[in-house]
Amino acid sequence: MAERRRDTGDGRGAEGPGAPGAGEELARAWGELVATARRTVAEGLVVGTSGNVSVRVGDTVLVTPTGVPYDRLTPEDVCGVSLDGRQVLGPLVPTSETPMHLAVYRATDARAVVHTHAVHATAVSTLVGELPLVHYMAADLGGPVRVAPYATYGTEKLAENMLGALRDRTACLLQNHGTLAHGATLAQAYDRTAQLEWMCRVWLTASSVPGLTPTLLTEAQVAEAGERLKGYGQPRP
C-alpha cells in the first residue's frame, strides 16, 4: 500500500493551491503530469516506479508520489509541495527525488522536470564525463551534455551535483543513475528526455563497431545548428 500523509498545506497565497481558479489549473496540470509519467513507462524510459515527473503551477510543484505505479494514479492522488519542500497537497508521500526537482525550479525558469532511468543514457553515464557530440540535437539541450558526479538518490548532494552539470543546459546525465531534463512545458521536458536517450543510443551504437571511431561534431558546428533550430517548426499565428 502506498504511504500516505495528511495534507499540511494551508492553501493560502495568491499563487498557492487555495487561489481563485487554482483548482482547475492544478487538476489540469496533474492530469498532464500523470499522462507524462505513464508515457515514460510505455516508451521504455523507466521501469516500474523508477524515475519521476513534476510540473510547477504558480508556487506549487506537483510531483509523482513515491512508490506508486503510474497506472494507479487518480485525480484524488494529486501530490504537491511548496518551493521550500513543504507538502501542501494530497495524502501521498512525494517522490524521494523532490530535492532534485525543487533545486531545478529554484535555479531556473523551468516549469516542468522529467527524470528517468533510461537504459542507453544510464549506460553512457557510466562511461564518460560528457556525452560526445555525435549529433547536432545537442544544441537543443544547450550544448554538450554533462554527467553529474554520482551521489545517493534523494539527497541534497545529488541535487547539488545535478545543478552543476545542468549549468547553461536543459538536460544532464546523472552518473550511474539516469537523466534529468526540464522545459517550459511537460511536453518539452519529455521531448528533451527522449532526444537525450536517442543521442546516447546513437553514440553507443556507433562506438560498438570494431575498428572504427564515431565522427564527432565540433562545438561550433553544434552552435550553428542551434541557431537554425531556433526557427524550426511552424510559425506562431
CA proximity to 65, closest of 4, 152, 16, 23 = 4
Catalytic amino acids?
97
- Residue 162's SS3 state is helix
What residues contact residue 128 under an 8 Å CB cut-off, 6+ apart?
147
Q: Which three cell numbers stand for residue 184?
A: 517550459
The HSE-up count of residue 186 (CA atoms within 13 Å, CB side) is: 22
H/E stretch holding 95 reads none
What is d(CA 151, CA 160) in angstroms, rounded to the nearest whole number?
9
Q: 180 - beta bridge partners?
A: 115, 172
* Neighbour order of strands in the sheet with 60-63: 87-89, 80-82, 60-63, 52-57, 112-116, 178-183, 171-174, 147-148
